[in-house]
A and B are shown apart, each in its own frame.
Chain A
């Protein structure tokens, strides 16, 4: 095992950004894009594979079809209608979304087509009720300047967002339709060589340009980066989907570079070995009898479910499944990911056995049945009889591909910054014209209008923000880059509350709570607005916001009023306040006599114990100081 030298492997990364637009409507109906958790309408569907207009089938669709799941959908009539239910043809294209994408394309100096065709991109995993995503290529070419360098734009598409996955189990998959159909702009950039940090800068710059239009959604999930990663001599370009945060992006690129280079090293070694093709009828055997009394929990569970168990010999592969050119990068893991996506628990390979409850005796029996030689390896896999043959076919194909390096596939980013197999790479045969919608005409006047609406640059926006709200540069940048810009402007609109405080609460306090492991997803925009208006009205103290937000983000309270109640944060009446402070000054007579005004510190500490969050800190300070002064004067 060695350290990877990332700058020496010919790493190329192409960014693909998916940004939700905040147009107040879906792309092809006028439903409001709101998130809900109550769904009064439920239905179930099965999707079938269809061919393209050129009569071809898409490989990723064939793969998805092989999983054969029933799809359950939940829908809230406030956020979706029969269009999302695929029980009504799409309505007209949302003109707001059209204008927005034209502005973005103009800002990126991209060449806009005068006639745009809405296409159906076949997606039969259930994330689209129709079995396809509506998408249209709006422009090609153009560039964005990042740190003085120009990065080329490949294409800009306007499309529909997919449904949100609620649950994925063995035979069913459940989605909510809230998000389905929200307009999404997809911007694909040219692949560039550079460090993961440089790639992150590109994503940041592009994200800022999009946000500057003030027509984009904010918050987690509203922007997703896909990255296309390849290395020199590796062959295929790997598409990694679903990077939600920029910090994750760097890690994903690093992991993918390591994985691809690792697989390349494995393929080079494989080519030096004497391996043979796997022959299904000879090298694959049913071995269920061997495992009748196996101690492995996975095997036990499979037996209980009535699954079949098969073993497969791979000639000349001894040691290759467990070999790690880099830590954690091995062929066995790639195969494991593959079978898991067919809904199987995983597989066992000879390099890791005996282990996991599989013992020497069982291994010996397999070696005997399959006639496994010392240079050979074997794999054990358990699952539903019908599915198992399809899975074995895929495993064989993957093992054969291993010699060629990196197979083309689509992978998903994990939260920890790794990537896992998602499906084979889809091709152009998944495109079919959307027959329900005539071509969209873009007039030259519309293009001129879009050009005149190109937003100010990030720097100009920051200056404006700084000037309008008297923020320092750092804080204004934080606000602008955060998901809270619109919220910030709403709260500060009437200037009833210091913008500095609002900005630091939104970008500092909430982030700090997140770092403590709390979930900002639980804190709704309406909660934040409510809390700030309570501060403005003097009903709660500024200082209490951290406790209130913490209470909600940790899941202890569901609403602002609940958080206030459970933390006893209601402001107290002035008479009550005076009474408490008078009592405190009275009981601290001695300290005051001894230390004079210096007693403020300790007394303030005592007062805060009972009054934290109930009184504005400054006000408390002032009152206490007055009372101490009076006491001293009396003396």
Chain B
């Protein structure tokens, strides 16, 4: 049993002294300390209590050293005041902000002491008042999760929500999303909502919005400008283009990858420049970027029985056998170089194919095309029925396979879908 992280001796101490979190107290120990009792992180021990001193510093006081605790006033913690955003201006374009969680909306979590998704979309809008000058922003909280906790079911939820707004009055939609799996969600939306008539920007932040240097605000402002100034339909990932606060890249959903654990400019378009770059006074389009016209027919279904596997020297082919035996319907291989795996894999691949498992080949090189006709090993794999997937990013290929499996009647149709460009997933 724990309360605000206090358990065992610590909790007993507080209850027996009738002290609650947020109380202003005076503690007699080696010296006398005045301050506010703060919550304690869940993974901490039970023989300290946390006090916020007048100076703002938090300290941990050892229970054994406390001689007396006196209550001064009851609640000192103020509820966060959310300033109402300014009155909507009917002349401005309308934007919808869907919140799903992630660093863009994080504040301290007293359960673990780390940051956790907590800010609602409304709070976010209020904390970036510049937004109200360029657009009227409505907000809606879809869920509040770290993106590593998202499942294909969450993609479906987001896609269905977007679909419900496909003919709405909104000029565009922002999806606030954790960065860890943002590229998967982006691909999932790009395939399931191919031809979506409105611009959609997935926006995240690498540095949480509770710090003055957060990249969240600028990413949001740039995304809003991109949606209302360019009107380019489709799904984009809008994040910093470099470490400076001066360029924001709009990356096309199926061509983007998180390439750094912490930098602001972690998201890169693979194999070319970003589709658009938002600068202080202009938005520049990449000359080569062009969205094919496509009728909007939403296909919001995924089959998650797909395995993404990286080949490496010594990989046990039993992994593939296990997938086949467990009913997996697709395997995406991150092969070496131009798209290879060692001979030791052949038997397992053959068996999988015989059982109707789709096997697609991408490269672990990340950049460049898969060409399986250059070496014998590539040709062997082609003969076994492995489908080369050009320069599709492995993660995109995984999502596309989940989507294609759920939206095709048989394996021929499935293979055709995989080879066809649905959402600019090939960039050759």
Q: Which residues of B contact A47 (CB under 8 A)?
A: 212-213
B91 to chain A, nearest CB (A): 22
B113 to chain A, nearest CB (A): 6
Within 8 A of B (CB), among A420-454: 427-433, 435-436, 438-439
Closest B residue, CB atoms, query A41: B243
Instruction: Judge whether B262 and A116 touch: CB under 8 Å.
Output: no
**Residue B245 lies at the interface, judged by CB distance under 8 Å to chain A:** yes
Expressed in whole angstroms, the Cα–Cα distance for A137 and B261 within the complex equals 30
Q: Report if A45-B245 is in contact (Cβ < 8 Å); known contacts: A131-B213, A141-B30.
A: yes
Instruction: Judge whether A87 and B59 touch: CB under 8 Å.
Output: no
Instruction: Judge whether A435 and B115 touch: CB under 8 Å.
Output: yes
Expressed in whole angstroms, the Cα–Cα distance for A132 and B214 within the complex equals 11
Instruction: Judge whether B59 and A117 touch: CB under 8 Å.
Output: yes
**Residue A122 lies at the interface, judged by CB distance under 8 Å to chain B:** yes
**Residue B413 lies at the interface, judged by CB distance under 8 Å to chain A:** no
Q: Which residues of A contact B54 (CB under 8 A)?
A: 428
Stretch among B76-84, B350-358, B420-428 lining the A interface:
B76-84
Give the interface centre of A119, A122, A135 by most chain B CB atoms within 10 Å.
A119
Q: Report if A130-B56 is in contact (Cβ < 8 Å); known contacts: A46-B245, A435-B114.
A: no
**Residue B142 lies at the interface, judged by CB distance under 8 Å to chain A:** no
Q: Report if A53-B57 is in contact (Cβ < 8 Å); known contacts: A44-B246, A141-B31.
A: no
Q: Report if A87-B262 is in contact (Cβ < 8 Å); known contacts: A48-B214, A114-B60, A431-B56.
A: yes
Closest A residue, CB atoms, query B48: A115
Q: Report if A131-B211 is in contact (Cβ < 8 Å); known contacts: A88-B263, A89-B262, A435-B115.
A: yes
Within 8 A of A (CB), among B33-57: 33, 41, 43-44, 48, 50, 52-57
Instruction: Judge whether B211 and A119 touch: CB under 8 Å.
Output: no
Closest A residue, CB atoms, query B209: A50
Closest B residue, CB atoms, query A427: B56
Q: Which residues of A contact B245 (CB under 8 A)?
A: 44-46, 70
**Residue B208 lies at the interface, judged by CB distance under 8 Å to chain A:** yes
**Residue B264 lies at the interface, judged by CB distance under 8 Å to chain A:** yes
Expressed in whole angstroms, the Cα–Cα distance for A439 and B108 within the complex equals 14
**Residue A129 lies at the interface, judged by CB distance under 8 Å to chain B:** yes
Q: Give the size category of A's interface with B.
A: 35 or more
Within 8 A of B (CB), among A122-177: 122, 124, 129-132, 135-137, 140-141, 155, 157
Instruction: Judge whether A82 and B57 touch: CB under 8 Å.
Output: no
Q: Which residues of A contact B79 (CB under 8 A)?
A: 55
**Residue B258 lies at the interface, judged by CB distance under 8 Å to chain A:** no
Instruction: Judge whether B262 and A114 touch: CB under 8 Å.
Output: no
Q: Give the size category of B's interface with A.
A: 35 or more
**Residue B217 lies at the interface, judged by CB distance under 8 Å to chain A:** yes
Instruction: Judge whether A54 and B57 touch: CB under 8 Å.
Output: no
Q: Report if A132-B59 is in contact (Cβ < 8 Å); known contacts: A87-B264, A428-B54.
A: no
Closest A residue, CB atoms, query B56: A431
Q: Report if A428-B56 is in contact (Cβ < 8 Å); known contacts: A54-B77, A439-B44.
A: yes
**Residue B61 lies at the interface, judged by CB distance under 8 Å to chain A:** yes
A549 to chain B, nearest CB (A): 41
Contact of B213 among A45, A54, A431, A438 (CB under 8 A): A45
Contact of B263 among A46, A87, A117, A140 (CB under 8 A): A87
**Residue A179 lies at the interface, judged by CB distance under 8 Å to chain B:** no
Q: Which residues of A contact B138 (CB under 8 A)?
A: none
Q: Which residues of A contact B115 (CB under 8 A)?
A: 435
Closest B residue, CB atoms, query A135: B57
Closest A residue, CB atoms, query B30: A111
Instruction: Judge whether A113 and B61 touch: CB under 8 Å.
Output: yes
**Residue B242 lies at the interface, judged by CB distance under 8 Å to chain A:** yes
A41 to chain B, nearest CB (A): 8
**Residue A85 lies at the interface, judged by CB distance under 8 Å to chain B:** yes
Within 8 A of A (CB), among B252-272: 261-264
Expressed in whole angstroms, the Cα–Cα distance for A51 and B127 within the complex equals 10
Contact of A48 among B48, B206, B212, B264 (CB under 8 A): B212
B103 to chain A, nearest CB (A): 11
Contact pattern, B 215-249, Cβ under 8 Å of A = 1, otherwise 0: 00110000000000000000000000011111000
**Residue A56 lies at the interface, judged by CB distance under 8 Å to chain B:** yes
Contact of B212 among A85, A88, A130, A433 (CB under 8 A): A130
Q: Which residues of A contact B53 (CB under 8 A)?
A: 137, 428
Contact of B244 among A44, A61, A111, A141 (CB under 8 A): A44
Instruction: Judge whether B59 and A46 touch: CB under 8 Å.
Output: no
Instruction: Judge whether B81 and A124 touch: CB under 8 Å.
Output: no
**Residue B153 lies at the interface, judged by CB distance under 8 Å to chain A:** no
Q: Report if A43-B56 is in contact (Cβ < 8 Å); known contacts: A113-B61, A131-B211, A435-B115.
A: no
**Residue A504 lies at the interface, judged by CB distance under 8 Å to chain B:** no
Instruction: Judge whether A50 and B57 touch: CB under 8 Å.
Output: no
Instruction: Judge whether B41 and A438 touch: CB under 8 Å.
Output: yes
Chain B at the A interface: mostly helix, strand, loop or mixed?
Answer: loop
Contact of B56 among A44, A50, A61, A119 (CB under 8 A): A119
Expressed in whole angstroms, the Cα–Cα distance for A136 and B56 within the complex equals 10
The total of Cβ contacts below 8 Å across the A-B interface reads 140
**Residue B207 lies at the interface, judged by CB distance under 8 Å to chain A:** yes
**Residue A6 lies at the interface, judged by CB distance under 8 Å to chain B:** no
Instruction: Judge whether A50 and B212 touch: CB under 8 Å.
Output: yes
A473 to chain B, nearest CB (A): 39
**Residue B70 lies at the interface, judged by CB distance under 8 Å to chain A:** no
A116 to chain B, nearest CB (A): 7
Q: Which residues of B contact A124 (CB under 8 A)?
A: 212
Q: Which residues of B contact A88 (CB under 8 A)?
A: 261-263
**Residue B62 lies at the interface, judged by CB distance under 8 Å to chain A:** yes
**Residue B373 lies at the interface, judged by CB distance under 8 Å to chain A:** no
Contact pattern, A 359-371, Cβ under 8 Å of B = 1, otherwise 0: 0000000000000
**Residue A120 lies at the interface, judged by CB distance under 8 Å to chain B:** yes
Expressed in whole angstroms, the Cα–Cα distance for A247 and B210 within the complex equals 41
Q: Which residues of A contact B262 (CB under 8 A)?
A: 82, 87-89
**Residue B73 lies at the interface, judged by CB distance under 8 Å to chain A:** no
Instruction: Judge whether A130 and B213 touch: CB under 8 Å.
Output: yes
Instruction: Judge whether B212 and A131 touch: CB under 8 Å.
Output: yes
A468 to chain B, nearest CB (A): 39
Contact of A116 among B60, B77, B243 (CB under 8 A): B60
Q: Which residues of A contact B114 (CB under 8 A)?
A: 435-436
Expressed in whole angstroms, the Cα–Cα distance for A252 and B62 within the complex equals 41
**Residue B58 lies at the interface, judged by CB distance under 8 Å to chain A:** yes
Q: Which residues of A contact B206 (CB under 8 A)?
A: 87
Instruction: Judge whether A86 and B207 touch: CB under 8 Å.
Output: yes
Instruction: Judge whether A428 and B108 touch: CB under 8 Å.
Output: no
**Residue A206 lies at the interface, judged by CB distance under 8 Å to chain B:** no
Instruction: Judge whether B57 and A137 touch: CB under 8 Å.
Output: yes
Expressed in whole angstroms, the Cα–Cα distance for A538 and B263 within the complex equals 53
Expressed in whole angstroms, the Cα–Cα distance for A111 and B43 within the complex equals 25
Instruction: Judge whether B78 and A50 touch: CB under 8 Å.
Output: no
Instruction: Judge whether A115 and B59 touch: CB under 8 Å.
Output: yes
Q: Which residues of A contact B50 (CB under 8 A)?
A: 115, 117
Expressed in whole angstroms, the Cα–Cα distance for A567 and B10 within the complex equals 73
Instruction: Judge whether A432 and B108 touch: CB under 8 Å.
Output: yes
Instruction: Judge whether A43 and B213 touch: CB under 8 Å.
Output: no
Expressed in whole angstroms, the Cα–Cα distance for A140 and B31 within the complex equals 8
Closest A residue, CB atoms, query B43: A438
Q: Which residues of B contact A46 (CB under 8 A)?
A: 218, 245
Q: Give 29 pairs: A residue, B residue, CB < 8 Å, sorted on A.
A: A43-B244, A44-B244, A44-B246, A47-B212, A48-B212, A50-B209, A50-B211, A54-B52, A82-B263, A85-B243, A87-B263, A87-B264, A88-B261, A89-B262, A114-B60, A114-B61, A114-B62, A115-B61, A119-B56, A119-B58, A130-B211, A137-B55, A137-B57, A428-B54, A431-B55, A435-B108, A435-B109, A435-B208, A438-B41
Shortest Cβ-Cβ A-B pairs, 7 listed: A115-B60, A131-B212, A431-B56, A428-B56, A55-B80, A117-B58, A137-B57
> Could you tell me which B residues sit within 8 Å of A by CB distance?
30-31, 33, 41, 43-44, 48, 50, 52-62, 76-81, 107-109, 113-115, 127, 206-214, 217-218, 242-246, 261-264
**Other 18 A-B pairs with CB < 8 A, given A428-B54, A435-B210, A438-B41:** A50-B127, A50-B209, A55-B77, A56-B78, A70-B245, A85-B243, A87-B207, A111-B30, A115-B59, A115-B62, A117-B57, A129-B213, A140-B31, A428-B55, A431-B55, A433-B113, A435-B109, A438-B43
